[in-house]
Amino acid sequence: MPAFRFLTAGESHGQTLGVTVEGVPAGLPLTADALQVDLARRQRGYGRGARQTIEHDRAEIVAGVRHGQTLGSPILLLVANRDWENWTRVMQVEPLDAEAAADLAALAADGNKKAAPVTRVRPGHADLAGALKYGFNDVRNVLERASARETAARVAAGGIARAFLHELGIETWSFTAEVGGVAVDPANTTRSREEADASPLRCPDPGAEERMIARIDEARSNGDTIGGVFEVVVHGLPIGLGSYVHWDRRLDAALAAAVMSINIVKGVEFGLGFEQTRRFGSAVHDVIEGRADGGRWVHRSNNAGGLTGGVTNGEPLVVRGAVKPISTLARPLPSADLISGEPVEKAHYERSDISVVPAAGVVAEAMVMLTLATFVVEKFGGDTMDDVRESVERYRERITRVPEAPVAGASRHGLVGTDEASSGGDD
Ligand SMILES: Cc1cc2nc3c(=O)[nH]c(=O)nc-3n(C[C@H](O)[C@H](O)[C@H](O)COP(=O)(O)O)c2cc1C
């Protein structure tokens, strides 16, 4: 079991979301204000729906921190759902007594959409499979947890990972790279990171952003939705995080799973990603220039996106995620009824976003940082932040040293170079 891990709880319209983060060393400065920054970034973005005007997310730190410093014990964060006050009866935790059940039934009979059980399953959602899997006849029991509202808890936890990694000189951010086929042109990324972050789509290319906004408006006026691509970039990672020795120790695999776990992501790529399949090797692989002053290894390009063999290679980490168009359409798709099994003209409609690429990028930052924190804690351990810092510094110093020249038959780590061993190809 990894030393650093987290688990979320909470329903979309329940009282609160919660997340427990385990394995944070003692002595990390942490405040609710610091966690607020990413929570607010997740809520912004052109194309988001009415829910974001109701929620003003704030994580309350209720355990694991004292006087602004982590204690080494599990940290518990709560993110209240403001909208809950409109759903108290529908989402009541305690059993409904006869009177409450009758009230709810009367509301539903009156056409109150919140009170009515949901049976018209929505295409592109977990509704149908989830209801059958867990034996529900009211799809609300599925959609409340499958909803991406849960990603607010991940982003809150990601804020802890951000604070932890920041202490070690590791910084993460993301931007919107594509919406509805309109892509950022690297030659036109004139905005600074701060300017991009403040722009409607968190996009560094102002011209592309305008055309992306037009695509979102087009979707909105057609009662439709639209997807895109975000890019997460991490600077300051040491060479050697992750390992090639086992499949489950590869950092690329763990990051791909973490980003893929975001409700709406349908593909993950690193660096050039799928584009590599269209080029010759000579136009793909990053030539190693050599060791620069200070012992830093330099590559001529970063097409691999900072990872080779599942291990960080000292270049910035570049992860991109494919965001599908939002499943819930203002002009709902046809579907079927869970109970009758018969087609229905319109799937259930639940208040919805039109496009969430910038928000998905912020969630991806959180998932990337939480994954990196897991690998950093595993590699550098430590009960206190000082322990971790010292361990990272010692390691960074070691990898900048010039290795001893090997002597055949007496190489330092017991690897004996024989003709057989050195002449084989890489299978
Ligand atoms: C930040 C964010 C906001 C989202 N908002 C909505 C939404 O308003 N309406 C919707 O239908 N899907 C929304 N989604 C996506 C759905 O939660 C997701 O598509 C659905 O749970 C099915 O999961 P899948 O897309 O991974 O198959 C959102 C996703 C994210 C990351």
Asked whether residue 5 carries a pLDDT value surpassing 50, the answer given is yes
Q: Give the CA dihedral 268, 239, 368, 303, nearest 10 degrees.
A: -30
| 152 CB within 6 A, ligand 1 | no
Rounded distance from Cα 326 to ligand 1 centre (Å)? 6
Q: What are phi and psi of 267, to 5 degrees?
A: -170, 150
Apex CA 375: angle with CA 277 and CA 384, to 5°? 160
Q: How far is ligand 1, taken at its centre, from the CA of residue 149, in Å?
A: 8
User: How much is the pLDDT for 325?
Assistant: 97
151 CB under 6 A from ligand 1?
Answer: yes
pLDDT digits (tens, 9 = 90+) for 282-326: 999 999 999 998 889 999 999 999 999 999 999 999 999 999 999
pLDDT of residue 2: 79
Query: What pLDDT shows up at residue 51?
Result: 67
Residue owning the nearest CA to atom 15 of ligand 1 = 264
Token digits of residue 395: 């390691």
| Ligand 1 contacts CB of residue 49 (under 6 A) | yes
Substitution candidate for ligand 1 out of 11, 41, 147 with most atoms within 8 A of CB: 147
Between the CA of 234 and the centroid of ligand 1 the distance, in Å, is 25
Task: Tell me how far the alpha carbon of residue 269 is from its chain's centroid.
Answer: 14
349 Cα to the center of ligand 1, angstroms: 13
- Does the beta carbon of 148 lie inside 6 Å of ligand 1? yes
User: Which residue has 């002595």 as its token pair?
Assistant: 27
Q: And the tokens for 341?
A: 């099994």
Q: State the SS3 of 131-165.
A: HHHHCCCCCHHHHHHHCHHHHHHHHHHHHHHHHHH
pLDDT in tens, 89-148: 999 999 999 999 999 999 999 999 999 999 999 999 999 999 999 999 999 999 999 999
Contact 25, 383 (CB under 8 A): yes
Q: From CA 201, how far away is CA 362, in angstroms rounded? A: 12
- Residue 416 pLDDT exceeds 60: no
- 319 three-state secondary structure: strand
Quick one: which H or E segment has residue 420?
helix 419-423
Tokens representing 396? Answer: 């960074």
Q: Find tokens 């570049």 and name the residue.
A: 318
Nearest-atom index, ligand 1, CA of 328: 11
- Give the position of tokens 């974001």: 52
Q: pTM of the prediction? A: 0.95
Whether ligand 1 lies within 6 angstroms of the CB of 150 is answered as no
**Cα–Cα distances in Å, from 261 out to 74, 132, 267, 408?**
23, 21, 10, 47
